[in-house]
Structure 1
Amino acid sequence: MASDNKGEWRSELRATLSLAWPLILANLTTQIIQATDAVLIGRLGAEALASVALALGLTFAITLFALGLLTASAPMMATALGARFNAVRDVRRTFRVAMWAALLMSLPIMALLASAEPLIVALGQEPRLAAGAGEFLRGYLWALPPWMAFQVMRNFLSVMERPGWVLTISTAGILVNLGAGYALIFGKLGLPALGLFGGGLASAITWTAMALALAAVLVTDRQFRRFHLFGRFWRGDAKRFAGLFKLGLPIGLTMGFEGAVFSAAAYLMGLFGAASVAGHQIALQIAATTFMVPMGLAQAATVRVGLALGRGDGDGITRAGWTAFALGVGFMALMAVLMWAAPRPLIALFLDDTPANAAAIALGTSFLLIAAAFQLVDGAQVVAAGMLRGLHDTRVPMIYALVGYWVVGLGVGVWLAFGRGWQGAGIWTGLAVGLAFVAALMIRRWARRDRLGLVAPLRT
């Protein structure tokens, strides 16, 4: 029996890695697309990079909320496939309403970003930085509809355990974004130099191309054609739409609360000057890049737990969750060591080591050392949240996120930054404390899932 049990854990490890590694690499390539913008715009100077940090800070929470809401389509489709009854029809219904949600959410967000400059000034930022942020966003806002559509299609491929196409297209997207950004920002290849606006526009071009390519795969691949995902696309489905929002709204708010606290951190950094904002943006880009690995494992955990839930397999739920958790925390431990060992070379990837950038580099280095300290808890909280989403458990984790990020994390950060005079280092320390608080609560809830009735009612 013990041998059989070990074999089942090894089988789960293989299945999780098989599903997760393309998702991880796709997450990394997606993050690299954004990091490419930061690297290119960083060549315009620390002030230009600070403007982009404020722009992306404004979009971060909003786009994470949208991503979270759309993420609900993954466990819904996974559970339908696990149950096998009316699977094709149920998957198509969920996919269709998720695409509708993506398109509907993009419209008000685009309207907000189109007039972002006065909002950024009203939030206490320097007018010249706000002007640069507005310039970037006027190009970047057109990336939102294709980006959201891409996420829904990616969820479907993850549930089908065929995420390789996402990786292939995302990798090509890096090259497209690099070429488009280089040409449009600096005026190469016969194009005008559009500066910050060109950087935003390059992202829009890249995501449009990626969404169209992935849609072509879903329409032409033999395995996916049977779902007729785009068939009767305009057909209403109020019940399934409501189901998506019921499950997805807490996920969106959970992710939005986390994103918003990092956005708030960027704007608090603006009170300490452009160098603090630039240093914060660099450290955040590096931390966000490492975060893509446990995020991919969390997505795999949601699918694997959801499939086991659909089968009514309690032991399978346990194996799926803890396997992803161990992989995610283990990877983040390695990243913590790397950040502690070589912070300055990592910072130098984004800013030239010149006297004009010295302050931003020094601050970014100090922020990155703190980011190294919270790698473990950041990985733990995101994978644990993915495990709970596989059980369709989203409302209580949302409350954990609200309290952990906004009451504990931001509260400690503001106190240290302003009350104790730590400034930017205080903000980052508060973020670390908030992440640790949320991680502890998420893990405890997963460990008590049977006692809380998160599994048993759904086995029938």
Structure 2
Amino acid sequence: MGIMTPKPDIRSHIRPLLALGLPLIGSHVAQFAITLTDTLMLGWYDVSALAAQVLAGGFFFVIFITGSGFAWAVTPVVAEAEGRGDTTQARRATRMALWLVAIYTVLMLPLMYLSEGLFLAIGQEPEIAALGGTYLAIAGLGLLPANVVMVFKSFLSALERTRVILWVTLAAVVANAGFNGVLIFGHLGFPELGIRGAAIASVATQLVSMLLLIAYIQRRLPEHTLFQRMWRPDWDSFRQVFGLGVPIGLTTLAEVGLFSASSVMLGWLGEIPLAAHGIALQIASLTFMIHLGLSNAATIRVGRTMGRRDWTALRDGAIASILLSMVAAVLTIVLFLSMPATLIGLFLDPDDPQREAVIAIGVALLIAAALFQLVDAAQVMAIGILRGVQETRVPMYIATVSYWLIGLPVAYGFGFPLGLGGVGVWLGLAAGLAVAAVLLNLWFWRQVLPRLSVDPPEDPEVPPLKPFPAP
């Protein structure tokens, strides 16, 4: 049977996607608001502290997001298992993901304490490198709770309990803002700690989020017995999550690493371009949360249809999720082109003498960001759909080639030899994202989807993708 025969039924998928996606978008925006709060408050505190946090925060995020691949692997595995009614596999996969993020944290922590030397080695200014190292020596302690939170969020998302994720993340935003206020500026009798205060606030916020999610799972999902016999390994589930999580983590690393490399290149241009880049990147990343939430919803919906072997619903859901993301991208382009100076100015103290210089550079970068909204949305939606069918290895190769062999060289070439500066670097980002968007969508629509529809396979050389067996 083939899945391309029935007429697409897109409308029936819009409402379920929005029901899942809107809370996930809200939770991603709220999660991002934590970083945004750090940027805003440090921007009001001191431009040097802001530039250091942009650099150090990007370093932390690269390490964190790579380890989050193990957490994100939980979503398609649990969604597909729940689609088959296999609660045992859902529980075992989540436990093994917790093991994997704990092991990963132990391996990565030394990099946090060596970060100042690493920043100096890549040509950052000594003052910025020192402040960034100070930040990471403290913030590194939050790596484990941050990744544990990601595992719990992925588990709850796959169970379609996305509203609690939103509420817990909103609570974390409030907590982070409060911690920042008293620790960065020294309010309520606390010492003025500047960038160190921002790092302490981040760790405290991650711990609060973790404890809230543990309490919810223990109280509302006792039937999953997630925290019983945590010490007992399940090596089949371990290998399954590891096999999916490593490509997911490396795929994400390829993209996030590209943007972090852009921060390094902007650092070569000086403190003001780096600060402007950090602000523009925060704004672009905020709007990206819409597409990320829809991508997560697509992963869940596709994973459920995988469990039911309903290829027509899989196809229609994929089309619906992409259409929703494209609408959001068009609205974002209009926003970026209509009021760039206003958006950049929100992040700066009105009395800062460097304000106008930062805004001038930031406006140009935000206009460049408008150029890659459609392709950025297209590539993240393709990744989410492919994860739903547990196809992660080829996307890893595509991402690596697109971002590092195309995007990064183009960014450097436009930015420095051609003399376009920060705008040239951002045009290189757009080039890498465009190539990824085209290749990822071609892979799904022309390779993976036809292979899934073969039941039984017409060509023995191209077997259908099969769900992982229950233990």
TM class, shorter-length: over 0.9
Indicate conservation of the 8 Å contact 2:60/2:136, yes or no. no
Show the counterpart of 2:34: 33
Offset of 1:451 from its aligned partner?
Answer: 6.4
Q: Work out the CA distance in 1 between the residues paired with 2:348 and 2:106.
A: 34
Q: Deviations over 1:157-202 (max 9, x none)?
A: 1111111111011111111100100100011111111110100110
Aligned to 2:354, the other structure's residue is in SS state: helix
**Against the structure 1 CA distance between its residues 89 and 398, is the aligned structure 2 distance closer, same or farther, given a 3 Å change threshold?**
same
1:104 maps to 103
Aligned to 1:207: 206
SS in structure 2 at match of 1:72: helix
Q: Give secondary structure in 1 for the equivalent of 2:451.
A: coil
User: CA, structure 1 residues 228+46, in 2 after alignment: closer, same or farther (shift >3 Å)?
Assistant: same
Q: Please state how far the C-alpha of 1:10 moved relative to its aligned partner.
A: 2.6
1:342 and 1:442 mapped to 2: Cα distance?
32
SS in 2 for 1:355: coil
Residue 24 of structure 2 is matched in structure 1 by 23
How far has the Cα of 1:114 moved from its partner?
A: 2.1
**Cα deviation digits, residues 35-58 of structure 1 (max 9, x gap):** 000000001222211111110121
Q: How many Å separate the matches in 2 of 1:12 and 1:225?
A: 31
- Asked if 2 retains the 8 angstrom alpha-carbon contact of 1:449 and 1:455, the reply is no
For residue 188 of structure 1, what is the aligned residue in structure 2?
Answer: 187
Amino acid in the other structure paired with 2:370: A
State how far apart, in whole Å, the 1-side matches of 2:453 and 2:199 are.
44
Q: Distance in 1 between matches of 2:397 and 2:167?
A: 37
User: Alpha-carbon deviations, 1:283-340, whole Å to 9, x = none?
Assistant: 1100111111110111111110011011110101101211111111210110111011
Q: What are the superposed Cα offsets for residues 17-39 of structure 1, whole Å, 9 maximum, x if unpaired?
A: 11111111000000001100000
Q: Are 2:163 and 1:164 aligned?
A: yes
Question: Match of 2:285, as an amino acid?
Answer: A
Identify if the C-alpha distance between structure 1 residues 451 and 313 changes in structure 2 by more than 3 Å, giving closer, same or farther: closer
SS at match of 1:230: coil
Q: Does 1:270 align with 2:271?
A: no
Structure 2: gaps spanning 5 or more residues: 1-5, 455-463
Give the one of 314, 317, 330 matched to 1:317. Answer: 314
Kept in 2, the 8 Å contact 1:416–1:427? The answer is: yes
51-60 or 266-275, which moves further after superposition? 51-60
**Matched-pair contact (CA < 8 Å) for 1:275–1:359:** yes
Decide which of 424, 429, 432 is 2:430's aligned counterpart. 432
Quick one: distance in 2 between partners of 1:301 and 1:194?
42
Aligned to 1:64: 65
Number of equivalenced pairs: 452
1:76 aligns with 2:77: yes
Instruction: State the shift of 1:73 in Å.
Output: 1.0
SS in 2 for 1:350: coil
Alpha-carbon distance in structure 1 between the residues aligned to 2:76 and 2:146: 20
CA contact 2:45–2:185 (8 Å) conserved in 1: no
Partners in 2 of 1:327 and 1:305 — Cα distance?
A: 16
Q: Which runs of 4+ in 1 moved over 3 A?
A: 449-452
One of 299, 306, 309 as aligned partner of 1:302: 299
Question: Residues 451 and 21 from structure 1, CA distance in 2 versus in 1: closer, same or farther, beyond 3 angstroms?
Answer: closer
**Partner of 2:187: helix, strand, or coil?**
coil
Q: How does 1:44-55 map to 2 (within 5 A)?
A: 44-55=45-56
Q: Deviations over 1:266-292 (max 9, x none)?
A: 011111101111011001100111111
How do residues 139-158 of structure 1 correspond to structure 2 at under 5 angstroms?
139-158=138-157
Superposition pairs of residues 21-420 of structure 1, within 5 angstroms: 21-84=22-85, 87-221=86-220, 224-353=221-350, 354-420=352-418
Give the corresponding residue for 2:461. none
Q: Tell me the residue number matched to 2:465.
A: 458
C-alpha distance in 2 between matches for 1:109 and 1:454: 38
Cα distance in 2 for residues equivalent to 1:12 and 1:131 = 51
Aligned position for 2:457: none
CA contact (8 A) 1:325 1:383 kept: yes
Alpha-carbon separation, structure 1, partners of 2:448 and 2:56:
43
Indicate the SS of the match to 2:164. Answer: helix
- Number of the residue aligned with 2:3: none
Counterpart AA for 1:360: V
8 Å Cα contact 2:311/2:452 also seen in 1? no
TM-score where L is the length of structure 1: 0.95
CA distance in 2, matches of 1:39, 1:155: 28
- CA shift, 1:455, in A, is 5.1
Q: Secondary structure at the match of 1:192?
A: coil
Deviation at 1:61, TM superposition (A): 2.1
Paired AA for residue 439 in structure 1: A
* Aligned-partner residue type, residue 24 of structure 1: I
1:451/1:295 CA distance change after superposition, 3 Å: closer
Cα RMSD over matched residues?
Answer: 1.5
Q: Conserved in 1, the CA contact under 8 Å of 2:69 and 2:250?
A: yes
Summarize the Cα distance change of 1:158–1:451 in structure 2 as closer, same or farther, 3 Å threshold: closer
Stretch deviating more after TM superposition (206-215 or 445-454): 445-454
TM-score, normalised via structure 2 length: 0.93
Distance 2:453 2:380 in 1: 20
2:95 counterpart letter in structure 1 = R
| Cα contact 2:49–2:195 (8 A) shared by 1 | yes
C-alpha offsets along residues 56-112 of structure 1, whole Å, 9 cap, x if unaligned? 12123222211223211110111111122xx11101100100111111112222221
Looking at structure 2, the residues matched to 109 and 201 of structure 1 have their Cα atoms a distance apart, in angstroms, of 19
Question: Is the contact between residue 176 and residue 201 of structure 2 (CA under 8 Å) also seen in structure 1?
Answer: yes
| SS class of match (2:224) | coil
